[in-house]
Structure 1
Amino acid sequence: MGHRPRNSSTASRDWSKPRFLFVGLDWQRKNGAAVLEAFERVHRLFPDATLHLVGKHPRIQGPGVIGHGQIPRSDLQGQRRLDRLYATATAFVLPSRFDPSPISYLEAASAGLPVIATAVGGAGELLGEGSITVDPMEPEEILDAMIRLCRPEEAMRLGERAKQAAATSRWTDVASRIIAELGIRVTTPLLDRTADGTSFKQPPLAPWSGTARMPR
C-alpha cells in the first residue's frame, strides 16, 4: 500500500479549533451520513468546529459544514486546494462501512492528521496509534472519537503518531521493498511524486543479475 504524501507541518497547524476533513467518493459506502449526523452533535458542544466534505456528497447546508464536491486527481489546481484542506484540518474522519486499505488514510496521516478509521476490513491497522478505529454502524463510537479529537493536545499527539506511521508507506517505499525482495539493484534513488501530482521519473535499473528471488 502506498500513497502520495500530503506533507505539512504539525507544529505550525492551528489546533485550537476542531476542523474535520472527510474525503470519499462513495458517500454511502464511506458512511458520510453517519459522519454528518455525528458532527451535528459535535457542533452543539464545539460551536467553532467545522466539517469539510470532499467527494460525491449530496448538497448539504448546516452549521459548520462546507462542501467542496469531487476533486479529480487530474485537476492540479483542485489538488492544491485539497492539499490546503489537509494542511489546515485537525482530524480526518472516514468510518467507512467497509474499506480493506484506503489510501486516503495514509494521505491524511502524511499530513499529520489523526484518523478516525473503520474497524471493518482491517484498515485501522495501517496507522496503529495514529488512528481511532470505530464500528461504522455505531453512531456513538463515531461521536465519541470526534469529541476526543476536539481536544487539541490529543489531536496533535495522535497526528504525530499517524505521520510517523505514514512515513514508511509512500509509493517509493513500497517500490523499494518490492525491488529489494526481487533482488534488483537500483543505480539511483527512487523519487517521490511531485507536489503538483505529476509522475516521478522511473529510475534506471541495473542489468538483470539472474539472482532475483520470487517473493514469498
Structure 2
Amino acid sequence: MRVLYFSDTFLPKTDGVAVSIKNFSELLTLRGHEFTICAPRYGEDDFERMGDNIHVIRFRSGYLPSYPDIKVVLPSPGKIKKVIEEFKPDLIHIHTPGLLGVYGMSAAERYGIPTIGTYHTLMAEQEMYVSFYRLFKLDKLFFKINKFKKKINFDELDKYIKFDNFNIRKKIILKICNDLYNRCDVVISPSHLIKQQLIEYGINRPITVVSNGMDLKRFKGKTKTLNTDAPKILHVGRISYEKNCDVVINAFKIVHEKFPKATLTIIGEGPAIESLKRQAEHLEIKDSVIFTGFVPNAELHTIYPQYDLFLTASTMETQGLVVLEAIACGLPAIGVDSFALPELIQQDKNGYIAPPFDVQALADHTIKLFTDPEVYKRFSRASIEIASTHEMEKCVDDMETVYEKVIEAMKGKEKKKSLFEMLLDFM
C-alpha cells in the first residue's frame, strides 16, 4: 500500500500525534508499505526522509499568535497535486483538522482517493487558543505586570478567562471538525470512550477503535513498592493551558504540606511554562517543583521508573500517550474523570479518578495512596497489566487491517468537484 499522511503537527515538534505517526509509519514500512507525510516546515531541524520508504514533504507555515507551537500551513494546491500525481497513494490518512488536514481532504475528494481520519485531539476543548484573551497575549501581559505588583493574584487572571469564555466559540470549532471528519470514509478513535464521545459530538461516519499503542519492549516496568517519606510525583506532556498543570501544582501544594520532602517534576515545554513557574513561586513551593524542559521520547523509558506516581489533570485526552507510557513502567496514576483517561487510569485498580478541576480530591487521592504501601503495590502491578493490552505490534495489525478494508471497500470512489479543484484548474 501507498499511504499519504496529512498532519498539521509532526517531528521535530514532539507531541502525541507526531509520535503516533512516526510509530505506525515506521512499523508498517517493515511490512512493505510506503508512506509520504505532508507536514509543516519548522526550521533547520526539519528532515525529509525516515528510511527508504517514508518521505516527508514540508509546507510553508506561519503560527497562531496565541500559541506559537501551532503551525498554520499556507495553501499550496500545486504542491499537493504534484505529491499525489507522483506518489499515487492508495489511501489518504488525515491526522489533524487544521488547514493541512483540510487541504488533504479536498485533494482526496478531487482524486477519489479513500480517506481515513484519526481523531487525535478534541479541538473543541482547545478553544481557548482562539480567544481574544490569548490572541492578544493578555496572559503574558498579566505576568509582566505581576512581577512588579505582587498584589495582583491568579484570581484576577481567571476573571479575564471567564469574561472571554463564550460557548459559541467551542460550537464553531466543533462544527468545523465535524464537517471535516464526516467527509472521511472511516474515522479512527484511539479509545472506546472517545468513540462514544465522537458519536455524541455528531460524527456520523463509521468509527473504529485503534489504540496508538506502546512499545512494551522499551516501556517495560516492574511492580513497584513504596517505602519513602519523600515521594516523587511526575507529570509529562505538552505544557499548554488545556493540560491544566496549574491544577496539578495546586494539588501538589496540599500534598507537600503532608509530605514536606515530596517533589513534583514537570517534563515538557509549552506556552504555559512561565505562568506555572510563577504559580509555584506564589505558592512558596518553587524549590519542590522541578521544570526539566523538553526531554526526548527516546529517553523517557529510563525516566519513568525513577518516580512513584504519575499525576495529570488534563480534561481533553483522546488516549493519553504519556499516561500509557507511565503505567507501562509500573507507575500508579491519578487523573480526572474526563474523556479517555478512565480507560487507562481505572478507579481503585491502578489509581484514582477525581472530578475535573477538583484540586482537593486530587490531593486527597495522592495522600491516600502514599500512606498505603499495600494498595500502592497492587496498583503498580495493575498498571502493567492494563498497559499490556496496548502492545504496539497488535495496534499495527489493527491499523493495517483498517487500511486494507477501506481501500477494498472504496474502489472506484466518486470524484467530487470542490473549491480545491477549481483552484488547481485556475493554476
Alignment TM-score > 0.5, same fold: yes
Structure 1 CA distance for aligned equivalents of residues 302 and 253 of structure 2: 24
Residue 3 of structure 1 aligns with an amino acid whose one-letter code is M
- Work out which of the residue numbers 383, 388, 407 in structure 2 matches 1:162: 383
Deviation at 1:127, TM superposition (A): 4.2
Residue 164 of structure 1 aligns with an amino acid whose one-letter code is E
- Is 1:66 the equivalent of 2:284? no
Q: How has the CA–CA distance of structure 1 residues 167 and 89 changed in structure 2, closer, same or farther, with 3 Å as cutoff? A: same
- Is 1:4 the equivalent of 2:215? yes
Q: How has the CA–CA distance of structure 1 residues 106 and 41 changed in structure 2, closer, same or farther, with 3 Å as cutoff? A: same
CA contact (8 A) 1:112 1:163 kept: yes
1:64-109 per-position Cα deviation (integer Å, ceiling 9, x unaligned): 2221112233xx4xx1xx3333111111001202212111111111
Partner-residue secondary structure (3-state), 2:357: coil
Q: How has the CA–CA distance of structure 1 residues 154 and 64 changed in structure 2, closer, same or farther, with 3 Å as cutoff? A: farther
Structure 2's unaligned 5+ residue stretches are: 1-210, 410-427
Q: Which has the higher helix share?
A: 2
Aligned to 1:50: 263
Aligned to 2:231: 18
- State the structure with bigger RCO (CA 8 A, min sep 6), 1 or 2: 1
- Work out which of the residue numbers 313, 318, 322 in structure 2 matches 1:104: 322
Aligned to 1:146: 366
Deviation at 1:177, TM superposition (A): 4.5
Q: How has the CA–CA distance of structure 1 residues 85 and 15 changed in structure 2, closer, same or farther, with 3 Å as cutoff? A: farther
Q: How has the CA–CA distance of structure 1 residues 104 and 48 changed in structure 2, closer, same or farther, with 3 Å as cutoff? A: same
Percent identity between matched residues is 25
Partner-residue secondary structure (3-state), 2:242: coil
Aligned to 1:193: none
Aligned to 1:195: none
1:1-27 per-position Cα deviation (integer Å, ceiling 9, x unaligned): 11234223225x654242110002133
Structure 2 CA distance for aligned equivalents of residues 149 and 103 of structure 1: 23
1:115-172 per-position Cα deviation (integer Å, ceiling 9, x unaligned): 1122111321234322311222111111112112213332222111111110121211
Aligned length: 179
Give the TM-score of the pair, scaled to structure 1: 0.72
CA contact (8 A) 1:27 1:33 kept: no
Aligned to 2:160: none
Structure 2 CA distance for aligned equivalents of residues 170 and 15 of structure 1: 30
- Work out which of the residue numbers 340, 352, 361 in structure 2 matches 1:132: 352
Structure 2 CA distance for aligned equivalents of residues 21 and 69 of structure 1: 13
Residue 350 of structure 2 aligns with an amino acid whose one-letter code is G
Structure 2 CA distance for aligned equivalents of residues 33 and 127 of structure 1: 20
Partner-residue secondary structure (3-state), 2:293: coil
Q: Higher Cα Rg: structure 1 or 2? A: 2
1:166-204 per-position Cα deviation (integer Å, ceiling 9, x unaligned): 01212112224456x67x9xxxxxxxxxxxxxxxxxxxx
CA contact (8 A) 2:317 2:340 kept: yes
Give the TM-score of the pair, scaled to structure 2: 0.38
